[in-house]
Amino acid sequence: MLVKNRLLIPGPSQVPPEVNAAMARPIIGHRSGDFAKFHEELAKKLKQIFQTENEVVILTGSGTAAMEASVSSVVNPGDEVLCIVTGKFGERFAELAKVYGANVTVVEAKWGETYDLDTVTKLIQEKKFKLVCATHNETSTGVTNNIPALGDLCRKYDALLLVDAVSSMGGMDIKTDEWNVDLMVSGSQKAFMLPPGLSFVSISPKALEVINNNDSTNYYLSLKKAKKSQDKWSTPYTPNVSLFYALDEACNMILKEGLDTVFMRHKLLAEACQEAVKALGLNLLAKEEISSYTVTAFTGNVDTEAVRSLLKKKFGFAVAGGQDSLKGKIIRIGHMGYMDFADLFGVIAALELCLKEVGYPVELGKGVGAAMDVFYRGGRD
């Protein structure tokens, strides 16, 4: 029987045919006037999606490249850095800051929960931090963390705020400037619906001043060089021009659909997915109030790995499992970027059939019915 492959992991995500086609355009030199003109226009579109007046630099490299570029461009050995860790990607910031010699203070939340604001507030009041690192959307657990509260604290106590929005920018309403985020990082292969290989950082004037006065030990991942080149609409080294074309097309698609519509679609997909999971008697890993709009993680009294492999084999749906301590215990469905309701109804229907096959009690249609209900009513109560 024919089975189509459908990529519903929380990144890389599905790529629209228009974006794939854009990558077939002829390569141009990155020191040419044509590239400069194109780059300048592209940066304007990216700034709209980031909701920022700050410059957004585009790096050739996956999301972690932008994370490392940010940390290494700001941190000197011995600097005090606060890392808010709510899962795998929060840990990455702490590891990076340590690699570059920072004195790292870690605030940890149980996986599936968000950070405790009182604890963070106390720490920031007690100690002068140069940099605070946080994850907006923790892809490993499906939790969205409160960033505006951190922005207020960092403004008040004069720390730079670095935020990882790799799996949420382009799908969720992120107000970079209003939230006072100095360095906002994202990547290509999540809600931006691009192939992997590009990452982005918006740089506030305050962050730029620190970066320009820093003796950083980086070379390829220097934000100082990236920003200096960008001032002439160039890049320090050869960029992935094909992915720049793809980014341009993806930005056009996002802006044409309209940011508000894109954000509403992601919210509705998330609500529909969460309601389906609950209707099937499965358990959401994160409470609804802190649930991500781009990825849903759930567990249940069932062999999740067996369900996952059946989903792939019988229906071609690739969904993710858990990482580290959650390995083998959860399923994560990505609903970001180039994803519509037919995709969601499909994966929930397939999930029900696979659950039934491994012996989990399912009344067929119950999950997909709950998802349809959210779609029909335009939201849940």
Ligand X SMILES: *Cc1c(COP(=O)(O)O)cnc(C)c1O
Nearer of residues 188 and 229 to ligand X, judged by Cβ: 188
Pairing of strands 55-60, 6-7: unpaired
> What are the strands, taking DSSP E only, across 67-108?
80-85, 103-108
CB of 139 to ligand X, least distance (A): 3
Q: Choose between 139 and 180: whose C-beta lies nearer to ligand X.
A: 139
Provide the pairing of β-strand 131-135 with 160-164.
parallel
Tell me the three state secondary structure of residue 149: helix
The residue (of 169 and 362) whose beta carbon lies closer to ligand X is 169
Q: How far apart are CA 345 and CA 269, in angstroms?
A: 10
| CA torsion, ordered 58, 293, 17, 21, to nearest 10 deg | 0
- Minimum distance from residue 337 beta carbon to ligand X (Å): 12
Burial class of residue 187 in the structure, from the number of CB atoms within 10 Å of its CB (0-12 exposed, 13-18 middle, 19+ buried):
buried
Q: Which residue is nearest to ligand X (CB)?
A: 63
Secondary structure tally for the chain: helices H, strands E: 13, 14
Q: For the segment 6-25, give every residue that binds ligand X (CB under 6 A).
A: 11
Residues 6+ apart with CB under 8 A from 50: 56, 169, 174, 176, 184, 186, 200, 202
**With respect to ligand X, which residue has the nearer C-beta, 114 or 139?**
139
Binding test (CB under 6 A) with ligand X, winner from 55, 164, 182, 352 = 164
The region of 61-69, 126-134, 204-212, 238-246 touching ligand X under the rule CB under 6 A is: 61-69
For the bound state, the minimum distance from the C-beta of residue 56 to ligand X, rounded and expressed in Å, comes to: 17
Q: Contact letters (x/-) for ligand X, 172-211, by CB under 6 A?
A: ---------------x--x---------------------
Alpha carbon distance 269, 261 (integer Å):
12
Rounded-to-integer distance, Cα 299 and Cα 301, Å: 7
Q: Which is nearer to ligand X, 89 or 317 (CB)?
A: 89
SS3 of 201-252: EEECHHHHHHHHCCCCCCCCCCHHHHHHHHCCCCCCCCCCHHHHHHHHHHHH
Q: How far is the CB of 331 from ligand X (least distance, A)?
A: 16
Report, in Å, the least distance between residue 164 CB and ligand X: 5
The answer to whether the CB of 207 falls within 8 A of the CB of 158 is: no
Least spacing, CB of residue 137 vs ligand X, in Å: 6
Q: Give CA angle at 326 (165, 192), nearest 5°.
A: 25
Considering beta carbons, is residue 12 or 367 the nearer one to ligand X?
12
Among 62, 73, 176, 216, contact with ligand X (rule: CB under 6 A) = 62
Among 70, 72, 144, 167, binds ligand X (CB under 6 A): 167
Q: How many residues bind ligand X (CB under 6 A)?
A: 13
Per-residue binding string, ligand X, 65-104, x by CB under 6 A, is ------------------------x---------------
DSSP letter (8 states) at residue 285? S
Told to check if 63 binds ligand X by CB under 6 A, we report yes
**Exactly one of 52, 54, 114, 139 binds ligand X (CB under 6 A); which one?**
139
Residues near ligand X (CB under 6 A) are 11, 62-64, 89, 135, 137, 139, 164, 166-167, 187, 190
